[in-house]
Amino acid sequence: MENTNPVGIDLGLDSFVAVSDGTKIGKPNFMQQKRKKIAKWQKIVARRNKGSKRRERAKARLQRTYEYSTSQSDDYLHKLSDTLVNSGYTSFAVEDLHIQNMVKNCRLAGSIQDASWNRFIQLLSYKAESAGLGVVKVDAKNTSKECSNCGNIQEMPLSERTYICNRCGMQKDRDINASINILNRATLGQRGSHAQGDNIRPQQEATIEELRTDKTHPLQDAVIA
């Protein structure tokens, strides 16, 4: 199949995922509730005396809460990945979570969030490949800090929801901007740009492999973890 409609997907900050065509998919409420419930039962377990029956009961309750939430979020992630695979996109560029994991863990202090993102990428990759669609994993380092229009890198505190480039003036939702960067990294070296606007400058046309070995390339820092 021709790769006529590739998209980048960012695992968002205030969205669950953001797609480079401008689509944002919100965090489902139950994920928030799940986190609260699990935290509550973890506290109760910690409070109770070791070896006591009450502690054992609380532990069982925590385990059930965890299992129930996991199956609920699995349903959601199945639906979400089905929807994306059936939306007419021809390939997906996603974050390589193995590279970013440590940053994410301390940034969001959320192993539950990480687990659902991991699961989402696993499901999406499997379904996309079964449907004959491509999946490219890229190093997502600095995708939030980089301007998807001019390549400028600037600090983006978590409170900033909009990327306002202090070099070219571009304004975009922070997660959508990141998803366009993810797409651009996956499509480097291919002709043309599929993001909003022509974001790939000619001097950046190189494959990810070339960038990894070219120490002088301007994107070297962005591509190598």
Q: Which residues are identified as catalytic?
A: 10, 95, 175
- Min CB(76)–Zn ion separation in Å: 35
| 113 vs 184, beta carbon nearer Zn ion | 184
- Of 13 and 170, nearer to Zn ion (C-beta) is 170
Q: Using CB under 5 A as the criterion, what x/- string covers residues 159-178 for binding Zn ion?
A: ------x-xx-x--------
> In the complex with Zn ion, which residue's Cβ is closer, 147 or 200?
147
CA dihedral 122, 128, 134, 137 (to 10 degrees): -20
Q: How many residues bind Zn ion (CB under 5 A)?
A: 8
Strands 24-26 and 15-19: antiparallel
Among 102, 115, 150, 153, binds Zn ion (CB under 5 A): 150
Decide the pairing of beta strands 171-173 and 162-164.
antiparallel
Q: How many CB atoms lie within 10 A of CB 69?
A: 19
Q: Which residue shows structure tokens 């699961």? A: 119
- Smallest distance from Zn ion to CB 11, Å: 22
Angle of CA points 179, 1, 194, to nearest 5°: 30
Phi and psi angles of residue 83, each rounded to the nearest 5 degrees, phi first: -60, -45
- Residue selected from 149, 177, 179, 187 as contacting Zn ion according to rule CB under 5 A: 149
Q: Is 57 in the site for Zn ion (CB under 5 A)?
A: no
Task: Give backbone dihedrals phi and psi of 170, rounded to 5 degrees, phi first.
Answer: -60, 140
CB of 91 to Zn ion, least distance (A): 25
Report the interface residues with Zn ion, using CB under 5 A. 147, 149-150, 152, 165, 167-168, 170
